[in-house]
Amino acid sequence: MRQEPNPKKIYPRTNDFSTVYLKNVITNSNIIVDDFTMYNDFNNDPKDFEKKNVLYHYPFVNKDKLIIGKFCSIACGTKFIFNSANHTLKSFSSYPFPIFYEEWDSTINVCEAWDNKGDIIIGNDVWIGFEAVIMSGVHIGDGAIIGTRALVTKDVPPYAIVGGIPAKIIRKRFEDSVIENLLKIQWWNWSTEKISEKLTAIKSGDIAALK
């Protein structure tokens, strides 16, 4: 018998403890994840996502955020690299003098050690492949797909497939007219009841039936 979708539980599947609904295991208020987005990890406990996968994230310094929409699929080993991993390119030296302000200059602002590129924002229904790396300031549009071990340094348009180092657009998932309709429909914001009713249309890619 089919169970009703429940975005509040931790484990979406019975006896599968390698996959979690991320929203329900996050404790950091600067990591914002919406309903049904899942993370799978067969190497580590997926509940440790914010510690093992969100790196150089010091919001008390930068106040930068990781924001992830609904119904995203995040594969094992995906990493989100935040601003504090950077060394500023404005300086004549790549050495992070401001981090060691106690030794060099107590008036230096620690944040001057890196270039602050802003939040990482992931749209809805995004699939991020195995061991992909998303860099600070990147925005990924709804419905995009990030290839295995891709290094994403620039924004990704909705429903684009990207891959490589650095990641580049391989192709669009659908024709422009279909993408335009999907972005208007925003099925991920429907109630679970309506999504269930329209699931056949979603799975089959029938845009007419989805409207």
Cβ-in-10-Å burial (0-12, 13-18, 19+) of 183 comes to: middle
As a whole number of Å, the CA-based R_g of the chain is 19
* Backbone dihedral region for residue 143 (phi beyond 0: left; psi -120 to 50: alpha; all else: beta): left
Catalytic residues: 87
- As a whole number of angstroms, the distance between CA 209 and CA 47 comes to 37
Closest CA to 156 of 181, 121, 186: 121
